[in-house]
Amino acid sequence: MKLSTLLSAFLVCTPFALALVATPTVVEAADASKVLEKLDKDAEVFADVSYVASMDVYKGGTKKKTLQFNMVMKGLDRQYIEFTAPGDVAGMKILMSFDNMWMYSPEFKKVRKVAAHTESQGFLGSEFRTEDMTMARLASRFDAQLVGQSGNETTLTLTPKPEAQVSYPRVDIIIDRTKGGVTKMIYFDGSGAAIREQHREGWTKIKGERMPTKITMKNLKTGAETVINMSGLKVDQGVDDGLFSKRTLLR
C-alpha cells in the first residue's frame, strides 16, 4: 500500500470545512471573493470536531468494500485518523499537524514522515482524492465569481489563482439556504466537461450550526461512487493538543 495513497484519508474532514457557512452572509455579500473568505472563516466555527465514519466504495452499482475509521480534528490544520476496519488497515494511524504528516504502520510498528504533496489519486479504490482535502481552504487557491441565485441556492464558480497547484480549471459550489451550507460541488476538466460531483446530505444541527453526515463523491465518467457516512458527531470537547503528536501514533 503506497504512503501517498494513504494520505488521501485526510480528505474526510473536508465536508465540515465547506459546510459550516451561514447562507445569509453569502446572499448579502457583493464581492464573491469575500464570500469565499467567509467560507474559510466559518469552516473553523468549532474548536474541535470528532466523529466515527464508514466509507463505502461502489463500482457498477455494487458495493466492493467498506472502510471504517475514527477522526479527530482541531481547526483545519491538525487531524488524527485511526482505522478500525477492515483487518488489513485496522490499527493504521495518520497524523497531520500543520505542514507535517506522519503515518504509523501496525505491521512494522514504526512511524514514518510522509511528504505533504502527493499525486491526485483515489484512496484505496475510492472516488475521493488527496486533493479534495487541500480544498479545505479555498480563498488562497481560487478566485470566485457569483454566477447565480435561484430560489434557495447560490452558485459560485471557482477558478485557480495563477500560483495555485490545482488539478481542476473550474469548480462550482452550490450553497442552499435551507441547509445552511454547501450541498454540492462540481469539478470540471480542461475541456469544460463536468467529471466529478460531490453531494452533501443528512444534514443535522449541532450547537446551532448545520452540517452534513452523508457525503457522496461520484465519477461522472464511470458512474462509480463512494459514500461516507458519519455518526457520533462531537464538537468543542476540549481536545488536548497532545493528541496531535508522534507519541500518540505509537500508543
Phi, psi (deg, nearest 5) at residue 113:
-80, 135
**228 neighbors 52 (Cβ within 8 angstroms):** no
177: part of which helix (H) or strand (E)?
none
Closest to 176 (Cα-Cα) out of 147, 205, 200: 200
Integer Cα distance of 205 and 197 in angstroms: 24
Residue 206, domain member (yes or no): yes
DSSP, res 127: S
Residue 150, domain member (yes or no): yes
Domain that holds residue 212: 3-232
Integer Cα distance of 206 and 200 in angstroms: 16
pLDDT the model gives residue 99: 64
Residue 209, domain member (yes or no): yes
pLDDT the model gives residue 120: 59
Residue 241, domain member (yes or no): no
DSSP states of 152-174: TEEEEEEEE-TT---S-SEEEEE
CA–CA distances in Å: residue 203 to residues 51, 178, 199: 15, 10, 11
pLDDT the model gives residue 182: 84
Residue 247, domain member (yes or no): no
Alpha carbon 35 to chain centroid, angstroms: 19
Q: What's the total number of domains in the chain?
A: 1
pLDDT the model gives residue 179: 84
pLDDT the model gives residue 130: 62
Alpha carbon 138 to chain centroid, angstroms: 12
pLDDT the model gives residue 45: 87
The CATH number covering residue 204 comes to 2.50.20.10
Per-position b or e across 104-120, b if 16+ CB within 10 A of its CB: bbeeeeebeebeeebee
Please classify residue 127 by burial: count the beta carbons closer than 10 Å to its beta carbon, then call 0-12 exposed, 13-18 middle and 19+ buried. buried
Tell me the HSE value of 124 on the side-chain side, using a 13 A CA sphere. Answer: 21
pLDDT in tens, 157-190: 999 999 888 889 999 999 888 887 789 999 999 9
User: Could you say which residues of the chain have pLDDT below 70?
Assistant: 1-30, 99, 115-124, 130-131, 133-136
pLDDT the model gives residue 78: 87
Joined together, the cell numbers standing for residue 170 give 473550474
Residue 45, domain member (yes or no): yes
Residue 68, domain member (yes or no): yes
Q: Are strands 110-114 and 181-188 parallel, antiparallel or unpaired?
A: unpaired
Residue 47, domain member (yes or no): yes
Give the chain's count of helices (H) and strands (E). 6, 15
pLDDT the model gives residue 135: 65
